[in-house]
Structure 1
């Protein structure tokens, strides 16, 4: 039962993907690809990034999927060289405040207008869950991003269920159909 409680975000994200139907889905931090593989029916192109080659072995092979073995910074460099427009980005690699902020800042320019960035582990249920192998200090990244929202280029909302999921929407205007290309 404990895993079901801690993994509620997977069902939520899969349902969100089934509604949004991202053209490009990127997941930073795969572990065993449990979430990634469930998104495959709903996205046109999926890229999973992890430092562990073992994580890639869990990825369902498909013409739509790609595994990038390396750090999120390595992948960010590749995206800078070969830009792509990301419709849905799930950040769940290194759970430190610094790494979450770095991933957000590295990939934000490549997120499509009204694209979604999902930050995991942003509402740890207790102090024990703040250990680096669990939620770490990811929640502090949200605090900092909230201080920066004066630019109105994104909006944030955290679902206050442990371990937490923060939803970010890249935006210039409220209504997607009013956004200038």
Structure 2
């Protein structure tokens, strides 16, 4: 620690990162680490405090994979004895103190801390192959003065608990698509190519096509942390794939209904297709919906019926999205959308048009 601080004192960096070899600092996939730090700097913070998520062995690990993020998949969100926080990213100043906490926390004058949530955690892999023997050996030689300062807590607690192999049924599995940390799992492979969808739709102005709005739909899912999206009118899966890209991040599900199936072979673990009209589906529907997309038959009566069938199931603060609200051939959607009153509304007028309402 002292050697690293001595280097910083020579070069005077703006910000510093000090992490252990068994830690991975993870940031929302929409930002680079540099962008993340610059944003916190502009917000006036000089220390970033992150949740440190511990991963545990269950006896099923395949160490041939090498990358510990693939080897260890199981973690516990609630184990307070071992789960902790660390301040691994901080703005440099000459009189800061790292040594007293083993470089886990920063002491400095005028400390302003950004307390990060589970969206920007540190993934911690303190246990390796033959972990029980190694941990006991490590703990036996831990310097007493370091333990007195509060260092090495996670190792000593493991010995105290006597747990070196954990029951995976009691833990969270980061490899599951619906796990909240799955976006940080290196083995995660999205089946949705959002860049291709955006590329196909970026400059389209011909006809009633959803591809101009795919990034907006994916972003709406992520921003609202949607868990259930209901889509009326499946078409050729452009909106469905947009929603699914976001749902892969939130862990939610898409249900889509259409009396016609106009797409070929496609399957996704978070996608359910019902080949019926919305009115038929609504008769037996019970679940609350975060986002409702109305993109079925585009005449006035059909748009009105779709809205009335599923509006009662939309959650408070949920969103209702109408497609084709600025497309002359489908004027019925625009006509009905204009009649919807009393809700917050955002209109995207570029053809073919999109209107988003938010329920009170």
How high is the TM-score relative to the length of structure 2?
A: 0.40
Range with bigger deviation, 20-29 or 37-46: 37-46
Consecutive unaligned residues of structure 1, counting only runs of 5 or more, are 125-129, 172-181
Q: Secondary structure at the match of 1:84?
A: coil
Q: Does 1:138 align with 2:333?
A: yes
Determine the structure 1 residue equivalent to 2:279. 73
User: What is the distance in 1 between the residues matched to 2:244 and 2:306?
Assistant: 22
Q: Does 1:98 align with 2:301?
A: yes
Q: Show CA shifts across 1:49-78 (max 9, x none).
A: 1111344x45x4233211100111111112
1:40 and 1:139, CA in 2 relative to 1: closer, same or farther beyond 3 A? Answer: same
Q: Which has the larger radius of gyration?
A: 2
Determine the structure 1 residue equivalent to 2:257. 49
Q: Give the superposition deviation at 1:2.
A: 9.3
Choose which of 203, 214, 229 in structure 2 pairs with 1:25. 229
RMSD over aligned Cα atoms: 2.0
User: What is the distance in 1 between the residues matched to 2:305 and 2:344?
Assistant: 18
Consecutive unaligned residues of structure 2, counting only runs of 5 or more, are 1-198, 206-210
Report runs of 4+ in structure 1 exceeding 3 Å deviation.
1-4
Determine the structure 2 residue equivalent to 1:174. none
Q: Is the 8 A contact 2:278 2:306 kept in 1?
A: yes
Q: Does 1:112 align with 2:315?
A: yes
| Higher fraction of helix | 1
Q: Secondary structure at the match of 2:312?
A: helix
Q: Is the 8 A contact 1:123 1:158 kept in 2?
A: no
The count of residues paired between Structure 1 and Structure 2 equals 152
User: What is the distance in 2 between the residues matched to 1:77 and 1:101?
Assistant: 16
Determine the structure 1 residue equivalent to 2:62. none
Q: Show CA shifts across 1:106-145 (max 9, x none).
A: 1111001100010001122xxxxx22xxx34211001221
User: What is the distance in 1 between the residues matched to 2:337 and 2:261?
Assistant: 29
Q: Secondary structure at the match of 1:101?
A: helix
